[in-house]
Amino acid sequence: MVRAETGEISRANGGVNSSTSRTRLQRQPTPIVLGCTSHGDRRRRIRMSKAMSSPTARMLRSSRLFSMPPPLPLPGMELVMHSGAIKTSDTATHPYPTKQAITAPASSRHRGDWGLKRPLPQKTNTTSDPHIRINAIDTLEHITDFDSAADHTLNLKKWQEMSIPMTKEPTTKTGSGLYPASQSSIPPSAFSKSGDNTVLRNERRTGQRQGQESMTSVNSLPLGVERALRIRETGTSGLQPGAMSRAEDHGSRWKFEGPHLPSMPQAEFDRYLRRIVESPEMRKQFREFLLVVRTQNKRIKEIERLRKEAGFDEKSKEDNDKLDKLCEIGNADEEVDQFMLELRDRNDDLSAELSRLIGEFFDLPPFPKNKILSSGMNLAAALSEEGDPNPPPVHPSAGLSYLKTGAFMENHPIHGPQIDRAPVQARVLRPREASTGQFESAVLGVGGFTARDITAKNFRLTDLESNGNKGRNWDFENPDANKMWINPLYAFVDSVGKIKMRILYPEKEAVAVKTGAADPRPGPLTESDAEFTRKLKSLQGAVKPEGGGSPKPSSGIRTSQRARALDSEEIKRFQEVIKRPNQDLGRTLVETLQARENRRL
């Protein structure tokens, strides 16, 4: 326990309390006076406070006890069943880490010194990746509760080695099933100028003209009247008609204070209503916001009316005084109630003014453009439709990668520049045809993350070594049967913080370069194939006869015989030869053509 106000230090477990230490810590420091003269007649003395120079204050400022950030709130893991029941799990894996991973220098770790209240056991220093996460710095049992954070730190290293660019959430459903991802379908980068903003572009330009006070970010303001009016001034609120087009022109934000309502589970939505929307303070602030909006709308209408009737000069004091008298509101409560009744009467769809004002006040993320004019009866079905990008809870890159694009070329030390990137080996975590049933696509594990296979459920391949067959079902006889080579194309963060990855199947040449195997491409003709090639060309009349001269046409204008279909015996023979090694195919073809020629003669 540390008492900064008296400088007394005591240990709860040992009960040590030294009077000498108390006297030394409570000793008044020597005052330091800094004098400055302005115009020769003013002197200002600054005396350093006791807290700035005491050993206790210096210890608190340098202690990790006060420098570690609090853990992130746990994500909602509720699963709504078809019957309406809600299933939860306390042991389910979270989609993202919630606690910071820390480490210490090797010179301190061997003593167990991690900058915490008490030393940690020696086992924390015997691992290859010494990173821990703190669950509790001090418990009732006087211990420090910690776990190893190597799982998260190693996954981050693997991700950075794969060099996967982070993008925005795609607007179309690609990367699985019958619609695999491609190079042309990559969404914009997470660092594009149109979306990588924490403040609005209009706000920045206003701050440059009016001063530093206007440069305060909207996100730093709490929910209330001031924040809603700032968003209203920029004209880029989420639910405003045409807001998406203006956001693309002036730069849209990725960070909003309010949640994305369509993607919220029912239990989380009920908690949000009770905690935020239905609080008395929010109701009071919302009524104040409606009063300001009512006054602004009334003022705009009066200005238009005065301009049409007798003219209105904004620089004239008399016209402004007259306008203020016309816009005066007598009873604020009655005016707000009347305004709310008018808004509810016109609240038919998302383009209504009430929806826009709610979005401005609670700073809700924007809805898709094609859902702005959805009717009220189909609103729930339209918003829950898949394929619409939801705003991420963090920056679209999530700090995993800072690559703006994956369009770079790898240079192999032996084979030179490669047209394809080096593939990554993935493991099948759940095949398409498992014991629990059939699934749309297989689930792959790629560097500590999961991805969906791009082969559809009902797709069948004859090549047993292809990636499509490796993700079909389990094969426990071969250790490498359920491993496949893939190329990570891009990744993005969805609305609940999960990382979604899109993959492609690499070419066989890229896999051979990665593994050092033989070139899978067919080689040139060898000497053993030259005899079959000469016989084949001679039968087609494409080579010179042995006596010399040029090949002559058989008869008429045609230079070769008309092709005839194969009979049943020849087809059966070819089907048997196809199953044999490739070296028998040429010999069988020559023998068949020779037999057909003999029958014709």
> Domain extents for the chain?
95-162, 164-186+395-521, 201-381, 529-548+558-600
Residue 564: the pLDDT is 62
DSSP bridge partners of 437: 434
92 vs 3, more confident: 92
Residue 245: the pLDDT is 37
DSSP bridge partners of 541: none
Spatial neighbors of 243 by CB under 8 A, at least 6 apart, are 235, 236, 237, 366
pLDDT per residue as tens digits for the range 173-228: 554 444 455 556 788 888 887 776 666 555 444 444 444 444 456 666 777 787 78
Extract the tokens encoding 158. Answer: 């693997």
Percent of the chain at pLDDT exceeding 90: 9
Q: Is it the case that residue 583 has pLDDT exceeding 60? A: no
Task: Quote the mean pLDDT of the chain.
Answer: 71
424 vs 520, more confident: 424
179 vs 412, more confident: 412
In whole angstroms, give the CA distance from residue 516 to residue 484: 16
Q: Is it the case that residue 44 has pLDDT exceeding 60? A: no
Indicate the pLDDT class of residue 445, thresholds 50, 70 and 90.
very high
Q: Is it the case that residue 483 has pLDDT exceeding 60? A: yes
Residue 462: the pLDDT is 60
Pairing mode, if any, of strands 33-34 and 46-47? antiparallel
Indicate the pLDDT class of residue 5, thresholds 50, 70 and 90.
very low
Pairing mode, if any, of strands 145-148 and 499-504? unpaired
In whole angstroms, give the CA distance from residue 140 to residue 510: 57
289 vs 11, more confident: 289
Q: Which helix (H) or strand (E) holds 359?
A: helix 353-362
pTM over 0.85: no
In whole angstroms, give the CA distance from residue 449 to residue 166: 14
CA-to-CA separations, 344 to 241, 338, 339, in angstroms, rounded? 17, 10, 9
136 vs 252, more confident: 136
Residue 489: the pLDDT is 92
Closest alpha carbon to 117 in 71, 66, 70: 66
Q: Is 267:75 a contact under the CB 8 Å cutoff?
A: no
Extract the tokens encoding 561. Answer: 């015989």
Q: Which of 256-270, 323-337, 363-377 has the lowest mean pLDDT?
A: 363-377
487 burial via Cβ count (<10 Å: 0-12, 13-18, 19+)? buried
Phi and psi, residue 518, nearest 5°: -70, 160
Calculate the CA 478 to chain-centre distance.
35
In whole angstroms, give the CA distance from residue 226 to residue 223: 8
Task: Kindly state the average pLDDT of the residues 479-502.
Answer: 87
Separation of first and last alpha carbons in the chain: 109
Residue 557: the pLDDT is 43
Q: Which of 149-163, 197-211, 299-313, 552-566 has the highest mean pLDDT?
A: 149-163
Task: Kindly state the average pLDDT of the residues 576-597.
Answer: 69
Q: Which of 56-65, 429-438, 503-512, 585-594 has the lowest mean pLDDT?
A: 56-65
Percent of the chain at pLDDT exceeding 70: 62
Task: Kindly state the average pLDDT of the residues 374-379.
Answer: 48
Q: Is it the case that residue 82 has pLDDT exceeding 60? A: yes
Task: Kindly state the average pLDDT of the residues 226-236.
Answer: 71
